[in-house]
């Protein structure tokens, strides 16, 4: 792999694993500042509550209480469903996949990237709160929005995820508020940018005091709904068993309609697997995750990919085929990867692939299936990496079985990946670099 600084545009075999049964019905631990991700003892965690206060206008508005707020109800007037499963595209040729990385910008601790439909610019989150716009090869001087007064950056907190609605009319930011709790806020977007006085809180989740396992990635799925990844809340070994508990949003992938409904900040899709279940949170889409950093949808197939950070032994990549994700149990903390941890692996979805903590590896950074045109041999491969070792990796699968893997290069402090409107990939370094994947 080569790293260039001027514009234009990453194998070893491993025993295959099968994506198998779904239960009927972490992130890097984003060790943003350190390689070790566990190690803390957790206190009791109050089950997460939703927030639906009035519109918040100033960016420095205080966070509302996350306790005893009304929970939204199902939204039967909009019962979205997962897309039908399209045919599987041709397999990649990882043996021929060689790339270079081109530095396109340097920012202050970038953590996430997104694009707006109909806009060629890249939108990049900085951990401390600003959202920067990279347009025409230059970073615009004024941030698109700025959450610097609203977030904190100790532990694994900060501005952790950004997304635009499918029509580009609304912008969403996922961040840790000043109290350390998880928040998703929304802005209306017009031709001049984000409308400051349109800001409102969509969802809030109370977090324990521990500084790790906050998740925070957000993305819209092929169904037009908003997905949020939340870690188990921190502490070593998930002592409160949040990953398996269905009465909390911690340790889950959440699926919501972000538009206000019935006095709440969002709606729960009627086809969510636990919608209407009084013993469970209806927002839950996938459970049993430790710290999902990060997840993405294959733009060609609709498949859901999740990088889940492990405890002390195994990092995992999970594949949930389109139409089969709702209600899936990925095992934590009954299992760490394919191995029992607090219980058994029976009934949970095993990882597509996993790797051990060795050779400097310690914390997976989930990525994207490559669907660009610049590197044809990589098309259809899932590209991901490790925060600690900086390795960039690719895996090819066929029907839930690994058929090839490749090492593509190295990025220091590899905290996230991004995908532009054309499907080209980018890597983000917590050290500041934004790098584009180009043909070598």
CA 198 centroid distance within chain? 25
Residue 88: predicted pLDDT: 54
Contacts of 190 (CB under 8 A, 6+ apart): none
Determine the pLDDT at residue 174: 98
What pLDDT, on the 0 to 100 scale, is given for residue 337?
97
Q: How far apart are CA 258 and CA 267, in angstroms?
A: 6
- What residues of the chain score a pLDDT lower than 50? 1-31, 33-65, 67-70, 76-80, 83
The neighbouring-strand residues paired with 397 are 402
Whether residue 189 contacts residue 173, with contact meaning beta carbons closer than 8 Å, is answered with no
Structure tokens at 291: 């710290």
Are 102 and 6 in contact, with CB atoms under 8 Å apart?
A: yes
Q: Could you tell me the domains of the chain?
A: 2-439 (2.120.10.30)
Cα–Cα distance, 13 to 406 (Å, whole number):
8
Tell me, what's the pLDDT at 12?
28
For 95-126, the DSSP string reads: GG--EEEEEEEE-SSEEEEE--TT---EEEEE
Which pLDDT does position 210 carry in this prediction? 87
The alpha carbon dihedral of 26, 222, 245, 112 has a sign of: positive
How far apart are alpha carbons 429 and 107 in whole angstroms? 9
What's this model's pTM, rounded to 2 decimal places? 0.85
Write out pLDDT tens, residues 389-426: 999 999 999 999 999 999 999 999 999 999 999 999 99
- Cβ distance 282 to 252 under 8 Å? no
Per-residue confidence (pLDDT) for residue 89, from 0 to 100:
59
- Distance, in Å, from the CA atom of 97 to the CA atom of 328, rounded to the nearest integer, reads 32
Asked if 120 and 408 touch (Cβ cutoff 8 Å), the reply is no
- Note whether 224 and 300 are within 8 A (CB): no
Strands (E), 10-49: none
């Amino acid at each position: 792999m080569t790293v260039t600084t001027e514009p234009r545009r990453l194998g070893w075999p491993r025993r295959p694993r099968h994506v198998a049964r779904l239960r009927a019905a972490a992130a890097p631990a984003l060790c943003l500042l350190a390689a070790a991700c566990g190690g803390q003892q957790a206190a009791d965690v109050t089950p997460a509550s939703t927030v639906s206060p009035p519109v918040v206008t100033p960016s420095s508005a205080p966070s509302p209480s996350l306790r005893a707020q009304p929970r939204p109800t199902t939204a039967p007037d909009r019962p979205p469903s997962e897309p039908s499963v399209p045919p599987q595209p041709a397999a990649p040729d990882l043996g021929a996949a060689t790339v270079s990385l081109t530095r396109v910008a340097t920012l202050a601790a970038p953590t996430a990237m997104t694009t707006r439909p109909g806009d060629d610019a890249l939108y990049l989150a900085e951990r401390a709160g600003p959202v920067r716009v990279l347009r025409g090869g230059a970073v615009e001087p004024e941030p698109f929005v700025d959450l610097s007064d609203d977030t904190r950056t100790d532990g694994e907190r900060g501005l952790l995820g950004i997304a635009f609605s499918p029509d580009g009319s609304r912008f969403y930011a996922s961040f840790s508020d000043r109290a350390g709790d998880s928040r998703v806020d929304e802005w209306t977007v017009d031709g001049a940018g984000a409308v400051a006085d349109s800001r409102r809180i969509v969802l809030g989740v109370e977090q324990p005091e521990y500084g790790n396992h906050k998740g925070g990635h957000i993305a819209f799925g092929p169904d037009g709904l908003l997905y949020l990844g939340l870690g188990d809340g921190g502490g070593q070994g998930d002592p409160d068993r949040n990953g398996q508990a269905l009465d909390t949003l911690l340790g889950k992938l959440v699926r919501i309609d972000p538009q206000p409904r019935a006095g709440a900040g969002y709606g729960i899709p009627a086809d969510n697997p636990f919608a209407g279940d009084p013993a469970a949170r209806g927002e839950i889409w996938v459970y049993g995750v430790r710290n999902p950093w990060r997840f993405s949808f294959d733009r060609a197939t609709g498949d859901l990919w999740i990088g889940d950070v492990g405890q002390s032994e195994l990092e995992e990549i999970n594949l949930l085929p389109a139409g089969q994700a709702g209600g899936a149990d990925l095992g934590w903390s009954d299992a760490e990867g394919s191995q029992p941890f607090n219980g058994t692996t029976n009934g949970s979805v095993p990882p597509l692939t996993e790797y051990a903590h060795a050779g400097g590896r310690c914390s997976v950074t989930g990525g994207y299936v490559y669907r660009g045109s610049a590197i044809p041999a990589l098309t259809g491969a899932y590209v991901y990496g490790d925060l600690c070792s900086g390795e960039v990796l690719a895996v090819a699968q066929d029907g839930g079985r690994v058929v090839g893997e490749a090492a593509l290069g190295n990025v220091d402090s590899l905290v996230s990946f991004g995908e532009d409107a054309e499907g080209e990939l980018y890597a983000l370094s917590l050290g500041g670099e934004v790098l584009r994947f180009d043909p070598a």
